[in-house]
Each structure stands twice: as structure tokens, then as C-alpha cells.
Structure 1
Amino acid sequence: MIAVARVGLPTLIGVLAAFLVMAPLTAGGDVSFVLDKNKVDVATERMKLQSAQYRGQDSKGQAFRLDAGSAIQKSSAEPIVQLNRLDAHIQLTDGPAQIRANTGRYDMDTQKVQLDGPLNFTAAGGYDLKTNDATLDLANRTMRSGGAVKGTVPQGVFSANALRADLEGRTVTLDGNARLRIVPRGTK
């Protein structure tokens, strides 16, 4: 058996190599085909991304990352990009921060992001904020909640009917029925 394999395998390899060398020379010619424009799938969106990720640094050199499960722009005439499963991370001077939202819409003309549904913001140092629906104005670096807000800060817990934030000035304004419960550091 081994004697046959010792002679047969090199012979088989030689025949296979000869066939591979000769095959292109014996091909019949070019292959052509015609596409029927009625049977070709046409994309319904101008742009569709799955598992989209955008990384960069802000003007202060702080690294950020924006992840989206999907991003869809229906047409070039419509400047709106639909975003799903949003997850944004930024490395601030006092630690990491994260914003999560189910869906959103980015308007390229106005540079505004409309976040829909529950929104959750967490940051180092015990900061946690929850609201529904928010508008982020990237040009003016401001944010406004679309509904009630509640959260936790190192000093205690708070709630209000709405929230306005100046991201550049790092100020937050609670509007309507604002409540703050301060928890002294000594008692837990």
C-alpha cells in the first residue's frame, strides 16, 4: 500500500499540476451576460450602515466614540439620518461619561440630534441622569430634554419637569417643579 502511494501520489500531483497549467489555454473564450434592470434589486436608502462607529477628539482633546446599531439616510434630498441603538462615550478630565438612547435623528442642515425614547447619561463621580426625548444642538453645544428628568449627583438626587444644559459652560438648569434632596456625606 505504501509502495503504491509512494509512486501514485507524486504522479497524481504531476497530472493535477499539468491540468492547472493547461486549463486557461483551453478555455472557450469570454463569458458575457446581460443584466435586466427590472430584475436588479434597487436600494431604497441613499446610505445604510450597520454597526456604525465614529471616533475622534473634541476641541479639548478628549477622546470620544459614537456607536449606532444602524444609521440610515433615505435620500440625498433629505438631510436626516435615522439612528438606532445609540451609545456615546467621552473621556472627560474627571473620568468617562456615557449616553445611551434607543433611537434618534441627526439633521445635517441644522446640526441637531433629536433623541427619542428613554435617555440615560452616566459619568464618573456618581452622576446619573434619566429623561425621555432630548434635543442636542451640536452647533450651539446645548441640550434640552423633551420631558421630565431625574437623576443622581454626588450631593443627592434631583427631579424636574425639564432640563436645559449648556455643554460648553458645563451648566444645567432644571425647569418646573425642581426638587433636590441633599444627602450629607456623613450619613449613608
Structure 2
Amino acid sequence: MAEDPLIQRPARQLWAAPGGQHDRVVETSRWVLPVMIGVFAAFLVTAPLTMSGDVSFLLDKNKVEVAKERLRIQSALYRGADQQGRPFSLRAGSAVQKSSAEPIVKLTTLSAEMAMAEGPAHLRADAGRYDIASEKVMADGPIRFTGPSGYNLVTGNATLDLKTRKLKSDGAVTGKVPQGSFSAASMSADLDSHVVTLDGDARLRIVPRRAR
């Protein structure tokens, strides 16, 4: 009795024979693989939107360009309190800090609000620098202080200590107070007591009506 020719074939020939298992695998792969590729591509697109938590990665410092500025912020806001616990806030249109080693932040369109003994006070300047460590504001150019009871002080290139509420010029200064105008080689002012001290070539022009 003759043996079935299919039985005499090796297993590899049976697997590759027309209509065999190989053909079924190829036929199935023709639609399974594109579907899997589509699903994987969709996952890669949506993964950043759905993942939560921290993402860690490594950068080669020799291949990554170092930024010239460490931090740039639009509409910055700093808050703190003085030595008596009275709050203050410092706002700026923009703030730039060059490095973590330098605690100086360059500010533009800055304004400060301070709680004083007699009520709130405001300070404004076009540009300046803020020392985060000492909480001092160094105005570059004109600076205007408006205190309670209509007290005004206009000067320039001065440093405000937000902790002590004292204003001091860095050099020659001219300014205005309710009583009149002044000029001097240097100036210091206690914003709480409204006392302005002029040093060196001090000149004060008093308007009698304002003085009363």
C-alpha cells in the first residue's frame, strides 16, 4: 500500500506548502501589523498629554548650549515682610536673573506696595534691580514714592531697603517733597517718619504755602 505523499514531506515543506500555515500567517500579518503600527503611533502622540509625574532625562553638558540667562519672567511678583512684620509686594513687567550665583534680578516697569503705620504706600520706577538676598531695590533712573496723607518723594538712582523702609541715593541727587525741591551730594530718607536727610552741598527750595 502506497504511503500518502503529504506524510512523506519534511515538516518545513509542509509549513511552506501553498494553502498551509505559512500562507495563513502572512495573510493575518497583512492587516495585523498596520493596525499595531497605527496604535503605537497614536500612543506616542498622546502620551505626553496623558502622562503625569516627573520626567527625568540626561543631557551631555558638552553638547548642550548654555543659556545666557537663567530665568526670564513676564509679570513677576515678589512678596515679603519688613522687620516689623508688615507686608510688601514688588511687581515688575519683566524680570531677568542671569545665574543662581548672582541673586540680582533686573526689573522693568517696577512698582512696590508697602504697608506703613499710617496706611499703604506706593513706589514706582521705570527700571531697577532687586537683590533677593538683602531685599533691596536699586532704581535706575527716576523713582517716585507716594505715602499716606498725600506725602510724595521724587528722586532718582536710589536704593530702597524693603526691610527697614529707608531710601538712600547712590550719589548726587535732586528731588521733590511736599515742602519744595532739593538737591545734594547724597540723600537718605526714612519713609516711615518722612524725614529726609541731605548730605554735601545740600540745597532746599521751600514753597511757603506747601510748608504750611
Write the distance in 1 (CA, Å) between the matches of 2:211 and 2:161: 39
Match of 1:31 in 2: 44
CA 63–119 in structure 1, closer or farther in 2 if over 3 Å, else same: same
AA at the equivalent of 1:50: Q
How far 1:101 moved relative to its partner? 0.9
Give the conservation status (yes or no) of the 8 Å contact 1:127–1:151: no
Q: Is the contact between residue 142 and residue 167 of structure 1 (CA under 8 Å) also seen in structure 2? A: yes
Structure 1 unaligned regions, length at least 5: 1-24
TM-score if structure 1 supplies the norm length? 0.65
Larger mean CA deviation between 177-186 and 61-70 belongs to: 177-186
Q: Deviations over 1:121-145 (max 9, x none)?
A: 1112231111121123457764322
Rate the CA distance shift 1:91–1:133 in 2: closer, same or farther, 3 A: same
Counterpart secondary structure, 2:79 = strand
Provide closer, same or farther for how the CA distance between residues 149 and 126 of structure 1 changes in structure 2, counting only shifts above 3 A. Answer: farther
Alpha-carbon distance in structure 2 between the residues aligned to 1:186 and 1:80: 39
Q: CA deviation at 1:148?
A: 2.3
In proportion to residue count, which structure has more strand?
Answer: 1
Matched, 1:66 2:127: no
Who is 1:47 aligned against?
71
Contact 1:99 1:120 in 2 (8 A): yes
CA distance in 2, matches of 1:186, 1:164: 20
1:116-173 CA-partner distances (Å, limit 9, x unpaired): 01111111223111112112345776432233222233xx213122311245776420
Give the 5 Å matches for 1:87-126: 87-108=111-132, 112-126=136-150
Q: Which 4+ residue blocks in structure 1 deviate beyond 6 angstroms?
A: none
* 1:158 counterpart = 2:181: yes
Partner of 2:158: 134
More helix per residue: 1 or 2? Answer: 2
Contact in 2 for aligned 1:126/1:152 (Cα 8 Å): no
SS at match of 2:146: strand
TM-score by length of 2: 0.59
Q: Match for 2:181: what amino acid?
A: F
Number of residues paired by the alignment?
Answer: 158
- For the aligned residue pairs, the C-alpha RMSD in angstroms reads 3.5
The 3 A distance-change label for structure 1 pair 102 and 144 is same
